[in-house]
Amino acid sequence: MKDKNLFETLGELLDQNIDPNARSDEIWKRYGQHRAVMMLDSSGFSRVSEQLGIIHFLTRLVLMRNMVQPVLEENGCLDFHFEADNIFATFACSDDAIRAAEAAHDTVYSNNLMLTDKEPFRICVGIGYGRLLYSETLEGLFGDEMNLASKLGEDTAEGGETLLTTNAYRSASSELVGGYEERQVIASGMQINYYHTVHPDV
């Protein structure tokens, strides 16, 4: 019999009038994983779609996906999925995620992918690392580091930037993050400390 996924287990506990928080240790032991998570976003989606139409942007998005997917696979990506103009990817460690981010920026830049006739296509990346809950469904991974990586990649990073959570930065090899700068941002009413770098050609 197939093992229950995270949401099935939570639903079963609720059906039995058991507070899942009372089984927190058991749930984390069963579904917890230490992972690096990457949220890759594309820059200029709303603006360019409004100016030149959604089909124009989506054709560029397809080209970007085709460029980036093999780069992720070559740099230790365990799993990934596309969602609108985002790519969510998981890695065993921060080093793999950071190398993949660097390679993704390099690939998009070196292929001269253009967003408009005059503006190059650029990606934004947020990376987190820590203990996350995993469900074998489309929902994927859950936890603070996933939320922070999403906020950094979608809401904070500009084109050509890679932003690391504090945990991702501290767990990474020093030679990979030696040029990152510590910064802060207020998002959803809370202060987030993160580490920033930008692709040298941007």
Question: Domain locations in the chain?
Answer: 44-198
pLDDT at 103: 96
Are 44 and 118 in contact by the 8 Å Cβ rule? The answer is: no
Global confidence as pTM: 0.91
For the chain, counts of helices (H) and of strands (E) = 8, 8
Residue with tokens 């945990």: 167
Classify domain 44-198 by CATH architecture: 2-Layer Sandwich (3.30)
Please write the tens of the pLDDT for every residue from 6-59: 988 999 999 999 999 999 999 999 999 999 999 999 887 777 777 778 888 888
Q: Which residues does residue 135 pair with via DSSP β-bridges, in sequence order?
A: 140
- Given a cut of 70, the residues of the chain with pLDDT beneath it are 1-2, 137-139
pLDDT at 1: 35
C-alpha to C-alpha distances, 82 to 123, 147, 167, nearest whole angstrom: 14, 17, 25
Single out the residue of 120, 81, 74 nearest to residue 101, CA to CA: 74
